[in-house]
Chains A and B, each alone.
Chain A
Amino acid sequence: MLSRDADSLYWLSRYVERAENTARILDVAYRMASMPISYNDLETNEWESALITAGGVDEFRATYGEATPENVIEFLAFSEANPSSIQNSFDTARQNARSVRSALTSEMWEAINSAWLDLRRYKARKIKVEDLPKFLNLVKEASLRYDGSAMRTMLRNDAYWFSRLGLYIERADNTARVLDVKYHVLLPQDAPVGGGIDYYQWAAILRSVSALVSYQWVYHQNLRPWLVADLLILREEMPRSLAACYGALSRHLDDLSHRYGTSGAAQRQARATHARLTNRNIEDIFQHGLHEFLQDFLADNNRLSLAISNQYLC
């Protein structure tokens, strides 16, 4: 297929996934911020950490200054100055969808187009903080619908694989960042371990990748920070874990190399990262430093994205 079409499919899926992730991050900030004040008397505020997770703190400071709920919502959901705002993500997704329409099924196109039309209606008026959940639901549903139509209607060929690659690269990036931000910003050294604050922080991490209930099913015990990390980094059965993302990335890259009859740097890198994830245990990772591990992972993930791009998309 045309490299540009593959590139559009890849970014289309990345941006839809990014919009959903940003919606989840905002959702968590909203829940945390509406908790009783005694649970929430930390130095850093939830809206600020939402900003750090989603990225773009510098751009934010330049235009808004203080991280009030209104400012952060505006910036992450609607701002035109923020290329990764939900609104901009859907704009970019739709532009990509439009330029590659013939490679999409009509269900996928309609999912993107109608979500885009729905979301545009929110642009005009200022959203109130209490209306936020409704808006965020709309975003999550749009992403589910897009993903579902892709799964159910696309031919299993290179077009499908490129769109999956975009999704998993974005998802891995998001999960790693959610973990990393919470890890060093929100685990206060002097807070008593096992206290209420920690509990809500770790629960928030799980919620932001929709894994709170899954946690209980996997571990059958109270929240433990190392198990939260274990679930989101190493457990292949957890669909947003780094291991699951890399399982899917290597699989789809192998699909491509079988179809095209050649493989390259992208395949090698994906396989190497996947192996690193499956051959480790969480104690190991903690011992070497969770933050360092996550930083390395983010860099590797970025390198894989570049390798895919060089090998196929330009």
Chain B
Amino acid sequence: MAAQTIFDEMNGHGGQSRDAYRVLQDWLKSVPPQLLEHRREEAELFFRRVGITFAVYGNAEAEERLIPFDIIPRILSGQEWARLSRGLEQRVTALNLFLKDIYNQRDILRAGIIPPELVYLNPYYRPQMQGLNLNSSIYVQVAGIDLVRVDDQDFYVLEDNLRTPSGVSYMLENREVMMRLFPELVGIQRIRPIENYVDELLGTLKSVAPASSPWDPTVVLLTPGSLNSAYYEHSFLADRMGVELVEGRDLFVRDEMVYMRTTEGPKRVDVIYSRIDDDFLDPLVFRPDSGLGVPGLIAAYRAGNVAIANAPGTGVADDKAMYSYVPDMVRFYMGEEPILKNVPTWRCREQEALSYVLDNLHELVVKEVNGSGGYGMLVGPHATKETCENFKARVLANPDNYIAQPTLALSTSPIFTEKGLAPRHVDLRPFVLTGRDGVRLVPGGLTRVALTEGSLVVNSSQGGGTKDTWVLSE
């Protein structure tokens, strides 16, 4: 399936300029390179001053770093987006139905489509969610679906992020910066707006409030605190939504109701947009050593007095082993063919797949089933023999923990460098909101770009950058 030549989103397979990029290309030709350099510097200054930073774990020196921002936008045509958004809605809907099923009826397990041990032995499976009748039936209110493309036609889903997907603040800030820096370019294109994301998020969160809450429910955003790598985003979203940004110690539970401590005394909380891992939510139920959570929160949740978005236990649906079953979920729950493709995946837990993977390590990307952020993965073609051997030992020691995929010829998109435009690999993370009243999507998402020539790793923790993503009106 890997195309021989790499598909470039501006230039296609061989230099022919693609429609969506035509206006941008003409404009780029008409401006002097110094102007771009100058605007790039302005952009960096803006990000630094506003303090849009992220923390890198295990790197005391660069405690707070900027995510590099590239000024050349990534552009999708209206038709491309129309197809993508249908596919995203379908996929996230199926994932929500799957979560409701495995925590209630378990039809899909009884139908023999998914091996039960993948659910029950999954570290993210939460028995506390079993049989819980969620008022809204929605488990994943906010999903970030990572997509890559390999040619003109196809997008592949790389992974589903159903726990606490981050990056949406960069999507919004990138747009804001582009509008500020390139008004003349933005003005000659018909770019679909994304600024309403925050309203849609708040609407989604309010829509899942418990039945007992007042007509205008109190929403809070729960953060692990200012040392967390995504803290900037947490404060950004709370600020834009106009809701309190709380830490665990700001909340307490009395008589199975959740309250926050305010300067005017306790105030009832109805909906928690949680950006904390399940493990830390409630020390009485999950990790007892968690100082981040709220004792009694799960009891209040089970009593139906507070909504938590995303629900605890959604991680069972987004690990890399379960990933390979998502197309089956779409067929099973919706009776439709999946619109978005999955990358072919070898599950190392299966003997046949394991021996294939071990024999072909140098051609494959091997990932930990529960890994994220680009940690704990092997990119075969870029790894030394020694690294491969070491990794092989790790896979053999615990094959269930790994999956492998072919190295995709990820598409590239041009970035601005000192030597002019140069192609770099990109992916795309659109954010899909699901409330009681349906699915909401803003056109676009976060484009991440591997800034090192030839590199395929786009994660910000590994030196990736971001771009603004434009979806054009049809």
- Pick from A4, A101, A256, A314: contact of B247, CB below 8 A: A4
- CA A99 to CA B239, docked complex, whole Å: 12
Residues A314 and B261 in contact, CB atoms below 8 Å apart:
yes
| Residue A85 lies at the interface, judged by CB distance under 8 Å to chain B | no
- Give residues 1-36 of A contacting B (CB, 8 Å): 1-6
A257, B244: Cα distance in complex, Å: 22
Give the complex CA separation of A6 and B265 in angstroms: 13
Compute how far the CA of A99 lies from the CA of B223 in the bound complex, rounded to whole angstroms: 10
Hey, which chain B residues are within 8 Å of A102, CB to CB?
235, 238-239, 245
A217: Cβ under 8 A from any B Cβ: no
Complex-state Cα separation, A260 to B264, whole angstroms: 7
Residue B95 at the A interface, CB < 8 A?
no
Give Cα A155–Cα B247 distance, bound, in whole angstroms.
24
A2 with B250: in contact, given A102-B245, A314-B261 (CB under 8 Å)?
A: yes
User: A202-234 vs B: 1/0 string, CB under 8 Å?
Assistant: 000000000000000000000000000000000
Chain B interface helix/strand/loop/mixed? mixed
CB-contact partner of A4 in B231, B261, B264, under 8 A: B261
A114 at the interface (CB under 8 A from B): yes
A101 contacts B235, C-beta separation under 8 Å: yes
Q: What is the bound-complex CA distance between A95 and B227, given in angstroms?
A: 10
Q: Which of A82-112 contact B (CB under 8 A)?
A: 95, 98-99, 101-102, 106, 109-110
Q: Is the CB of A2 within 8 A of B244?
A: yes
- B225 touches A (CB below 8 Å): yes
A6 contacts across to B, CB distance below 8 A: 263
Partner of A99 from B50, B226, B264 at Cβ < 8 Å:
B226
- A275-314: contact bitstring with B at CB < 8 Å (1 yes, 0 no)? 0000000000000000000000000000000000000111
Contacts A1-B263, A313-B263: A109 and B51 contacting too (C-beta < 8 A)?
yes
What's the least CB distance linking A307 to chain B, in Å? 14
A113 contacts B264, C-beta separation under 8 Å: no
What is the CB-to-nearest-CB distance from A260 to chain B, in angstroms, rounded to a whole number? 5
**A95 in contact with B226 (CB, 8 Å):** yes
B390 at the interface (CB under 8 A from A): no
Q: How far is the CB of B49 from chain A (nearest CB, A)?
A: 6
Interface residues on B, range: 20 to 34
Task: Give every chain A residue within 8 A of B287 (Cβ-Cβ).
Answer: none
Are the CB atoms of A113 and B49 closer together than 8 Å?
A: yes
The verdict on A255 contacting chain B, using a C-beta distance below 8 Å, is no
Contact residues in B for A314 (Cβ distance below 8 Å): 261
* A-side contacts of B249, CB under 8 Å: 4
Note all chain A residues with C-beta closer than 8 A to B48: 117
| Closest chain A CB from B283 CB (angstroms) | 19
A236 at the interface (CB under 8 A from B): no
Using A95-B226, A260-B264 as known contacts, say yes or no to A2 and B246 having CB atoms under 8 A apart.
yes
Q: Is B262 among interface residues, defined by CB-CB distance under 8 A?
A: yes
A147 within 8 A of B: no
- Which chain A positions have C-beta within 8 A of B263? 1-3, 6, 158, 162, 256, 260, 312-313
Q: Is the Cβ of A2 less than 8 Å from the Cβ of B50?
A: no
CA distance A1 to B267 in the complex (A): 10
B225 to A99, Cβ gap below 8 A? yes
Task: Establish whether residues A3 and B262, one from each chain, have CB atoms under 8 Å apart when the complex forms.
Answer: yes
B238 / chain A contacts, CB cutoff of 8 Å: 102
Is B260 interfacial (CB-CB < 8 Å)?
Answer: yes
Which residue on A lies nearest to B244, using beta carbons? Answer: A2
A24 smallest CB distance to B (angstroms): 28
Residues A113 and B262 in contact in the complex (CB < 8 Å), given A4-B250, A99-B225:
no
Pick the most buried of B245, B247, B263: most chain A CB atoms within 10 A of its CB. Answer: B263
Cα–Cα distance between A295 and B235 once the two chains are bound (Å): 42
Whether A101 pairs with B239 at a CB distance below 8 angstroms is yes
Residues in chain A near residue B245, CB distance under 8 A: 2, 5, 102
Docked Cα-Cα span, A101 to B246, in Å, equals 12
Encoded as 1 (CB less than 8 Å from any A CB) or 0, chain B from 227 to 264 comes to: 00001000100110000111101100000000011111
Within the assembled complex, what's the spacing in Å between the Cα atoms of A117 and B244?
27
Residues of B within 8 A of A117 (CB): 48
Pairwise interchain contact B235-A2, C-beta atoms closer than 8 A: no
**Option from A3, A5, A98, A113 in Cβ contact (under 8 Å) with B226:** A98
Instruction: Collect the chain B residues with CB atoms within 8 Å of residue A106's CB.
Output: 50
With a CB–CB cut-off of 8 A, which chain B residues contact A101? Answer: 51, 235, 239
Mark out the residues of chain B between 43 and 70 whose CB falls within 8 Å of any chain A CB in the assembled complex: 48-51
A5 proximity list for chain B (CB < 8 A): 244-245
Please give 11 more A-B residue pairs, beta carbons under 8 A apart, in addition to A2-B250, A98-B51. Answer: A1-B244, A1-B262, A2-B263, A3-B263, A4-B246, A5-B244, A6-B263, A99-B226, A101-B239, A110-B49, A260-B264
Q: Which 8 A-B pairs have the closest CB atoms?
A: A102-B239, A312-B263, A101-B235, A3-B261, A99-B226, A6-B263, A98-B226, A113-B51
